[in-house]
Amino acid sequence: MDEIMHGSPAAIRVVLRRGMLCVGCPIASFHTVSDAARVHDLDEEELSYDLRTAIERTDSD
């Protein structure tokens, strides 16, 4: 998660909008998207889709 957030600030908005506490969390550097979804009781596919969409939008700008 940490790598994703560092690579794309748009991903941070997704994380915050979903009420996740990954921003600044010392565990974020060890968590995958799957781990984060499980810990925060979120649907992994939906979270992955939202992250990918945010990153792709940023990349195309």
Higher per-residue pLDDT: 59 or 12:
12
Give the pLDDT confidence score for residue 58 in this predicted structure: 76
Give the pLDDT confidence score for residue 57 in this predicted structure: 86
* Residues 7/56, Cβ–Cβ less than 8 Å: no
CA distance 31 to 29: 6
- Cα distances from 10 to residues 20, 54, in angstroms, run 14, 6
| 18's tokens | 């979903």
59, pLDDT greater than 90: no
pLDDT in tens, 13-50: 999 999 999 999 999 999 999 999 999 999 999 999 99
Residue with tokens 């506490």: 21
* CA 44, chain centre distance (Å): 10
Give the pLDDT confidence score for residue 61 in this predicted structure: 57
DSSP state of 1: -
- Does the predicted model carry a pTM greater than 0.85? yes
